[in-house]
Structure 1
Amino acid sequence: MKSTLLIIFYFFTLSIFGQSNNRYELTKDSDTLHYFKYERPIIEKLNLIKPEENKNFFRFSSDKYYLELSDDSNKYIFYADEVWDGKRTGDVYIKQIDLTNRQVEEIKKLTDSLKINEIPSDNQIKNWTFGYDGITYKIENKNNSNFSRKI
């Protein structure tokens, strides 16, 4: 009887206080493993758009830079962590460059001509192995409720 009551209480509280997010749906080619552990704290620190926000955006990034295009802001951000005696201090140097309308249009033309949004995610390429032997690029695109994140 106690276990039944605990189970009912658990599902009741989950339904009331559970964190569900209906603002976006990941596309089938999305890769999120790296995002929630490493990427999300950086996105928050750099004040970039989060997928759960009700905003459309395109983001192209690598290890220490982000290019973000949206209706609200168009920017290029690069950053560096402060390190003393081989340890991070927690301070971060951030440089933001706001893009002009012409730059944004040129970037959009380039992404369209290169078919950037059609590039498959690494998990869709047969015999692909993930390693740290080069540069990793991330492509994110949120359009209405669909969110795609490819590495």
Structure 2
Amino acid sequence: MAATHTPSPEHPAPLLEPPRARTSRTPSVTRGNAELYGWLFMRLSGVLLVLLVVGHLVVQLVLAGGVSKVSFAYVAGRWASPFWLAWDLIMLWLALLHGANGLRTIVNDYAQHTATRLWLKALLYVATGFTVLLGTLVILTFDPNLR
């Protein structure tokens, strides 16, 4: 049986420093529930993404006969169905937003200066918005008659 260490005056518990100490410029006011919602979104979107991606891989690799069978005609036939169109669109949106939320958390944790944090998050939001818009445009305006 392992012995546990109980702090005492002779052997105090180690002092743990916060990852980033508060300064006079750090706001002491909390941001409300935004971080809670971001945390909850990561958990829910992660579970949903696992289901969507595993389903996608099973259909693409097992049922459709492998990657060698995927062609322009295969994609055109697949996206002719509103079900698969919605599946791929939801998977795209969730993957991009899940990744952007994770990067936002990393920027908040590691960017030291407020201005740096502001610019990195602004760049992240613009890049995410552009990629979501472009990906959605490609999926929704796909024309199978281009050949």
Bigger relative contact order, structure 1 or 2 (CA pairs below 8 A, ≥6 apart): 1
Structure index of larger Rg: 2
Q: TM-score range by the shorter chain?
A: under 0.3
Q: TM-score, normalised by structure 2?
A: 0.25
Of Structure 1 and Structure 2, which has the larger fraction of its residues in strand?
A: 1
Of Structure 1 and Structure 2, which has the larger fraction of its residues in helix?
A: 2
